[in-house]
Chain A
Amino acid sequence: MKYLSEYRNLEATKQYLDLIEKTATQTWNIMEICGGQTHGLVKNGIINLLPENVRMIHGPGCPVCVTPLNLIDKAIELLEKGVIVCSFGDMVRVPGSKKSLLEAKANGGDLRILYSPLEAVNIAKQNPDKEVVFFAVGFETTAPANALSVLHAKKENVTNYSILVSHVLVPPAMEGILDDELCTIDAFLGAGHVCAIMGMKEYYPLVEKYKIPIVITGFEPLDLVQGIYMALLQLEKGEYKLENQYSRVVKEEGNVEAKKMMEAVFEIADREWRGIGSIPDSGYRLKKEFLDFDAETKFKISSITTPENSACIAGQILKGIKKPHQCEQFGKACTPSNPLGAPMVSSEGACAAYYHFSNDLITS
């Protein structure tokens, strides 16, 4: 784990924190896009180590948090129809309109928690008399593996496998946030792992259009403080450009093979974001030639709609307009054991990260 401990070095982190303190001459609002970055900031106590005038705003990059309620209800309906539903772990506790996948499992549903959609294809092969659906949630990071599972199933003629697609894309969400008139964001830390797949190309137009610095950043403490420092340097100089702090992982062109797979299977479509609403061209759907693997088409469940809980301000949290502890429900009606909305469920969700790791240590 040496490759990790080097990025958790106390002295090096302190040096960057000192530089940040010296560099910031006014208040700046910096949004980290990815939930993994939020998790890293809060878990390592970095937020409390930053000077008061450097404010981190937690972005919408938690896949669990932005998956709309009605998709969860659809997954539950599949489970109740006797379908084997496979999911990434942190999706299963997110409340749907009536219950979570975990509760549906307790009622007899066959729910499997997996790390890889390819494992779901294996389950489909082992259970030829059952239908198997993988809940394909996530950003550009999980899309290649989900695409691969479909290609694999098609090649091996596994006809009882399909995916419930809830794929969203980062750049349209950033535009959505910047277009909001309440937006106060001065710079972005770009999502390192998303860029590892997609490369940097998509971000140059954003920098130009909104004249905003974007620093593609990693997830370890040293990555985060360095990314914040790089963003600050640009802000203080009045510059705006795309920079890559996470160059050990992110290449200009991204992962070409992964992108090919995604392009083969998915096409761009409008997508609903939990708490934010519909954003044009902000996600993926399966291409026509792969509709046999589309669970919504296969099981005719596409008409379920579900309203959100009105007490939950997830939308404002995800856009960075409010911080989790500024919500009236935070830690009261809404806790990780009884979440009103998704950001309180996933460990990457801004609300859960605040609740678990900082609680009342956070005063600002």
Chain B
Amino acid sequence: MSNKDIGYDTINLGHGSGGLMTRDLLDHIIFETFSNPYLDQKHDGSIIKVDGEMAISTDSFVVSPIFFKGGNIGELAVNGTVNDVAMCGANPKFLSLAFVVEEGLPMGDFIKIVKSIKETADRAGVQIITGDTKVVERGKGDKIFINTTGFGKVHPEAHISPYKIKAGDKIIISGPVAQHGMAIMSQRDGLEFESTIESDTTNLNFLVNDLLDGFGDKIHLFRDPTRGGLASVLSEIASDTELGISIKETEIPLDDQVAAACEILGLDPLFVANEGIFVTIVDAEVADAVLELMKKDKKGARAACIGEFTQEHPKKVVMHSVIGGKRMVTPMIGEQLPRIC
């Protein structure tokens, strides 16, 4: 698969026309790459057999830059939706894949993204079974947007719900915070800074499945702290219960380099986006065993128990600071904006 097969170096409006150019693009790039029995039927949609409870989740990906340290928009589009389905306590099997491409995108970039989607999907054990490609005029998009929808069967032992959370439940995070957001920030126009921080984007479905196999209904909730970061996710969970959350700043895993970048840019790592970690709320009696299991997996090697649910300060998240003070943790309001000085 190369630019030669398509005959064009860039994507243009014709590739979204529905005519022969679209056909060429689909045949040479999409169908060739993702070939599987569902997609190969070449229907308008795919027909799948369903038994039992299914989880469905959809997400759109508009990240800029589209290639960044540790990943690209395609990888994100697969992992992001796979993880959202996994957070429902389900094992994702199928993905839909829709592109909105701005005319002028180099064909090489498109191919690179498609290949990356295929590799990421293979790693996560999901198949692309339906999709769409649209092309918009220059200036009407930002290189490429991707929407994916994931489908997966809910784990038979899963009982994931904020209503199951009770006082004393432990809050465990699977890895260090703020890596993805700071990787992106370090490459944004006008804000570039030298760093080796890489996005943490990865699929979490197998680790989630292992936890459900091992601990079943003792796992009360999964949530991935993507946009809005850890602070926003914890605030949301607290507001869904009648309990308060108490966390310790010293227990939250954070890499030195990421901490330094946040410090310099005046950003709070608790508000910075993540793509490859999750928070799980578990019964206190299994917390140690959950941590042990997670730490055996590369994706949970730096897991930590960061706090617990309490009867005090209902619906509020309180963080015990490094120096022994307390502060409220509130959800992020809009985009986190760098401070002046």
Contacts and interface: CB of A to CB of B under 8 A. Distances in A.
Interface of A: 1, 4, 8-10, 13-14, 36, 42-49, 63-64, 88-93, 102, 112-115, 119, 123, 137-139, 141-142, 193, 221-222, 336-337, 346-348, 355-361
A14 B338 contact: no
B265 interface: yes
Interface of B: 189-191, 256, 259-260, 263, 265-266, 268, 313, 316, 318, 320-328, 330, 333-334, 337-341
Contacts of A336: 333
B330 A44 contact: no
A113 B337 contact: yes
Nearest to A86: B190
A139 B320 CA distance: 32
Closest 5 CB pairs of A and B: A45-B325, A89-B338, A89-B337, A13-B323, A359-B328
A186 to B, nearest CB: 23
Contacts, number: 116
A115 B328 CA distance: 28
A13 B322 CA distance: 10
22 contacts: A1-B259, A10-B322, A43-B321, A44-B325, A44-B327, A48-B326, A49-B323, A63-B340, A89-B266, A90-B337, A90-B338, A92-B337, A93-B337, A113-B191, A113-B337, A114-B191, A138-B341, A139-B341, A142-B340, A221-B321, A221-B325, A356-B330
B190 A114 contact: yes
Contacts of B313: 361
Given A43-B327, A113-B190, 17 more contacts: A1-B256, A8-B323, A14-B323, A42-B327, A64-B340, A88-B340, A89-B266, A89-B337, A93-B337, A137-B340, A138-B341, A139-B341, A141-B341, A348-B339, A358-B327, A360-B316, A360-B328
Given A8-B322, A10-B322, A48-B325, A90 B340 contact: yes
A90 B339 CA distance: 5
A84 B339 CA distance: 20
Given A1-B260, A113-B190, A91 B340 contact: yes
A115 B323 contact: no
B190 A119 contact: yes
A127 B316 CA distance: 48
Nearest to A41: B325
B313 to A, nearest CB: 8
B334 A93 contact: yes
B321 A356 contact: no
Contacts of A346: 339-340
A36 B327 contact: no
Given A13-B324, A44-B327, A337-B333, A115 B338 contact: yes
B334 A337 contact: yes
A1 to B, nearest CB: 5
A326 B326 CA distance: 21
B330 A4 contact: no
A266 to B, nearest CB: 17
